[in-house]
Amino acid sequence: MHWNTGIKVIAAALCAALLAPAFAQDAPVRIGYAIARTGPWAVGAQMTQEPNYIMWADQLNATGGLSVKGKKRKIELVGFDDRSDAETVVRTYEKLMTSDKVDLILPPWSTGATFAMMPLAQKHGYPLLAPTATGRKLLGMKNPYFFSLLQQPDRMMDALAEFLKARSVSTAAMIYVDDLFGLEQSAALVVSFKEKGIKIVESKSYPLGIKDLRPVLTDIKAKNPDAFIALSYPPDTFLVTAQAREIAFNPKAFYVAVGAAFPIYRDKMGPTIEGVMGLGTWNPKTSAATKAYFDAHVAKHKKEPDRWASAHAWAGLEIMQQAVEKVGLDRKALRDYIAGNEFTTIIGKIRFKNGENISTPGVVSQWQGREFEVVWPPDRATSSALHPKPNWK
pLDDT in tens, 183-214: 999 999 999 999 999 999 999 999 988 999 99
Over residues 94-119, mean pLDDT: 96
Q: Residue 25 has what pLDDT?
A: 58
Confidence (pLDDT) at 208: 87
Cα–Cα distance measured from residue 372 to residue 333, given in angstroms and rounded to the nearest whole number: 38
User: What residues make up the domain containing 158?
Assistant: 153-279+363-380
Is 240 found in the same domain as 369? yes
Q: Are residues 258 and 171 in the same domain?
A: yes
CATH number (domain holding residue 197): 3.40.50.2300
- Residue 180: pLDDT band with limits 50, 70, 90: confident
In DSSP notation, 72-123 reads EE-EEEEEEE-TT-HHHHHHHHHHHHTTS--SEE---SSHHHHHHHHHHHHH
Q: Is 19 inside a domain boundary?
A: no
pLDDT of residue 40: 86
Neighbours of 87 (CB within 10 A): 10
Cα three-residue angle 253-263-162, rounded to 5 degrees:
30
Which of 17-31, 36-50, 131-145 has the lowest average pLDDT?
17-31
Question: In terms of domains, do 164 and 250 share one?
Answer: yes
The answer to whether residues 204 and 168 belong to one domain is yes
Q: Residues 80, 92: contact at Cβ < 8 Å?
A: yes
Average pLDDT rounded to a whole number, residues 252-257: 98
Nearest to 249 by CA among 241, 239, 237, 259: 241
Choose the weakest-confidence range: 52-61, 101-110, 177-186: 177-186
pLDDT of residue 13: 46
Mean pLDDT estimate for the chain? 93
Q: Are residues 134 and 158 in the same domain?
A: no
pLDDT at 379: 96
For residue 269, being part of any structural domain is answered with yes
Average pLDDT over every residue of 103-130: 97
- Let me know whether 242 and 325 are in one domain: no
pTM: 0.90
Query: What are the backbone angles phi and psi of residue 114, rounded to the nearest 5°?
Result: -65, -40
List, for residues 139-152, the tens digit of each pLDDT value: 999 999 999 999 99
- Asked if residue 102 and residue 158 are part of one domain, the reply reads no
Quick check: is 70 in a domain? Answer: yes
Q: Judge whether 326 lies within some domain.
A: yes
240 domain residue, yes or no = yes
**CA atoms of 180 and 262, how far apart (whole Å):** 21
Say how many domains are in the chain.
2
pLDDT value at 90 more than 50: yes
Instruction: Judge whether residue 22 has pLDDT over 90.
Output: no
124 lies in the same domain as 182: no
Helix (H, G, I), strand (E, B) or coil at 297: helix
Q: State pLDDT tens for residues 278-331.
A: 999 999 999 999 999 999 999 999 999 999 999 999 999 999 999 999 999 999
- Mean pLDDT of the region 5-12: 44
d(CA 328, CA 326): 6
Percent of the chain with pLDDT over 90: 89
In terms of Cβ atoms closer than 10 Å to its own Cβ (0-12, 13-18, 19+), residue 204 is middle
139 and 161, same domain (yes or no): no
**Is 392 part of a structural domain of the chain?**
no
207/337 same-domain check: no
pLDDT(21) > 50: no
Cβ neighbour number for residue 62 with a 10 Å cutoff: 8
How much is the average pLDDT of 33-56? 96
State which amino acid sits at residue 33.
Answer: Y
| 271 and 129, same domain (yes or no) | no
Identity of the amino acid at 30:
R
74 and 96 both lie in a single domain: yes
Band of residue 375 on the pLDDT scale cut at 50, 70, 90: very high
